[in-house]
Amino acid sequence: MPESASLILALGGILLLGMAADVLGRRTLLPRVSLLVIVGIAIGPALLNLIPPVLVGNFNLIATMALIMIGFLLGGKLTRQSLTHIGRRGLLISFSAAAGTAAIVCVGLLLLGVGIEFALLLGCISSATAPAATFDTVVESGTTSPFSRLLLMVVTLDDAWGLILFSLALAAVSAMQGLENAASPLLVAAQDIGGGAAIGLIIGLPAAYLTGRIRPGEPMLTEALGLAFLCGGVAIWADVSFLIAAMVMGAVVANLATHHEYPFHAIEDIEWPFLVVFFVLAGASLELGALFDAGIIGLAYIVLRVIGKTISAAAGCAITREDPATRRWLGLALLPQAGVAVGMALVATRMFPERHAIILPIVLGATVIFEIVGPVFTRRALTATQN
């Protein structure tokens, strides 16, 4: 079969599977995100091998496009009104959830006899979440409760905290090993986060004035997508965080574009097909063998991360005096983990090649579990806190 035909057939089949997952997700305990990841594992190279290699090979491109749109939509929720109502709470809770999880996983692994360098790196990697899976589960639930708004705020900030903590861990491990570039990870982190924020601001300021001017009201789809991909592309070209850039630009436009109500509403109409392909290919790209390679340390990492997210999010909620239901469920709603954590693991293995045989299998194995089980807990939390 010609490669073009197999590619088009695979895309058509994946999109139809997305429709089926949407229907099943409304009638079963599994959210559609988990169903799509399971389907991806089943039809991917690890089992049935039905997806053309060219499509799996372009997973990074599709993932980047999907995450750029997610970043814009999350950033668009960071309005003055939401920040006034939730901003300080979201900042404190997100920091507690990220830093607390890193500390609990690190200490737990140390008590199990894992070396300090491994424990530091894995602890900070554990702080990252999966904004795409969490965001889609909230959208699928249809809830607009205070809990769902707080959850999206925390998820928006969580990966930024995770990147900062991970960069500090890289610097600490480099110092322990006596490497000359021990301070460079801190500079890289500042460039990655600060540069992304700067690009989002630079593009977002004129975009806030221009969007919605061509046709009165909300921006056209082409206009919204053009701005989204322009911002993401510039960030990638500058080698800074495109997710931070997208979030900042979304927040800038949402707060300054007062001539229309919601700047990126048009993106929501086409976001789901991108996400369907994204989650199926995410499942197809996961290595099932990593589950077995991770061993007892991998199992400990998974258990400790669940404990860490639950306790540290509850601690942050206690500081901000949230209601008992929010304290109980927020940490469990933050369990999904995907691309950011894998990216951190790849960076760690590039800097410390001798850690490759341990860090990458553990993180990949945990990702398989958290991408399937995590959204289930997220949806359960949304249901339990609706009242």
Task: Answer yes or no: is 332 within a domain.
Answer: yes
In 216-373, at which residue ranges do the beta strands (DSSP E only) sit?
none
When pLDDT is averaged across residues 221-225 and rounded to a whole number, the result is: 76
**HEC string for 153-201:** HHHHHHHHHHHHHHHHHHHHHHHHCCCCCCCHHHHHHHHHHHHHHHHHH
Tell me 84's DSSP state. I
Residue 263 burial class via C-beta count within 10 angstroms: exposed 0-12, middle 13-18, buried 19 and up: buried
Q: What predicted TM-score, i.e. pTM, was given to this entire model?
A: 0.69
Report the 10 Å Cβ neighbour count for 37.
29
The per-residue pLDDT for range 2-46, each reduced to its tens digit, is: 767 777 888 888 888 777 877 776 676 666 777 777 788 788 777
**pLDDT score for 201:** 93
- The answer, yes or no, to whether residue 257 has pLDDT greater than 80, is no
Task: Measure the CA–CA gap between 189 and 200, rounded to whole angstroms.
Answer: 16
Task: Measure the CA–CA gap between 285 and 277, rounded to whole angstroms.
Answer: 12
**pLDDT score for 259:** 53
Q: What is the pLDDT of the chain when averaged over all its residues?
A: 78
Residue 22 burial class via C-beta count within 10 angstroms: exposed 0-12, middle 13-18, buried 19 and up: middle
**pLDDT score for 303:** 92
Task: Measure the CA–CA gap between 67 and 159, rounded to whole angstroms.
Answer: 13
Task: Answer yes or no: is 26 within a domain.
Answer: no
Instruction: Using alpha carbons, select from 147, 155, 127 the residue that is nearest to residue 345.
Output: 127
Is the distance from CB of 285 to CB of 338 less than 8 angstroms?
A: no
Report how many domains make up the chain.
1
pLDDT category of residue 276 using cuts at 50, 70 and 90? confident
Task: Answer yes or no: is 87 within a domain.
Answer: yes
- The answer, yes or no, to whether residue 93 has pLDDT greater than 90, is no
Residue 350 burial class via C-beta count within 10 angstroms: exposed 0-12, middle 13-18, buried 19 and up: exposed
pLDDT category of residue 308 using cuts at 50, 70 and 90? very high
**pLDDT score for 178:** 60
**pLDDT score for 71:** 76
| Helix residue ranges per DSSP H, 1-87 | 3-25, 32-43, 53-57, 59-75, 80-82
Domain extent at residue 206 = 58-269+291-384
Task: Answer yes or no: is 52 within a domain.
Answer: no
Task: Answer yes or no: is 37 within a domain.
Answer: no
* Residues ≥6 apart with Cβ < 8 Å to 322: 89, 93, 150, 330
When pLDDT is averaged across residues 226-252 and rounded to a whole number, the result is: 86
pLDDT category of residue 268 using cuts at 50, 70 and 90? low
CATH code at 164? 1.20.1530.20
Tell me 354's DSSP state. G
In the chain, at which residue ranges do the beta strands (DSSP E only) sit?
none
Q: Write out the two tokens for 179.
A: 């490497």
**pLDDT score for 87:** 65
**pLDDT score for 263:** 52
- The answer, yes or no, to whether residue 77 has pLDDT greater than 60, is yes
* Residues ≥6 apart with Cβ < 8 Å to 57: none
Q: Give the side-chain half-sphere CA count within 13 A for 154.
A: 33
In percent, how much of the chain has pLDDT > 70?
A: 77
Task: Measure the CA–CA gap between 224 and 268, rounded to whole angstroms.
Answer: 10
Task: Answer yes or no: is 325 within a domain.
Answer: yes
In 120-212, at which residue ranges do the beta strands (DSSP E only) sit?
none
When pLDDT is averaged across residues 289-296 and rounded to a whole number, the result is: 68
Task: Answer yes or no: is 242 within a domain.
Answer: yes
Task: Answer yes or no: is 6 within a domain.
Answer: no
- The answer, yes or no, to whether residue 95 has pLDDT greater than 60, is yes
> What number of residues does the chain have?
387
Angle, CA 30 vertex, CA 24 and CA 33 arms, to 5° = 85
Integer angstrom CA distances of residue 253 from 75, 91, 256, 327: 9, 21, 5, 32
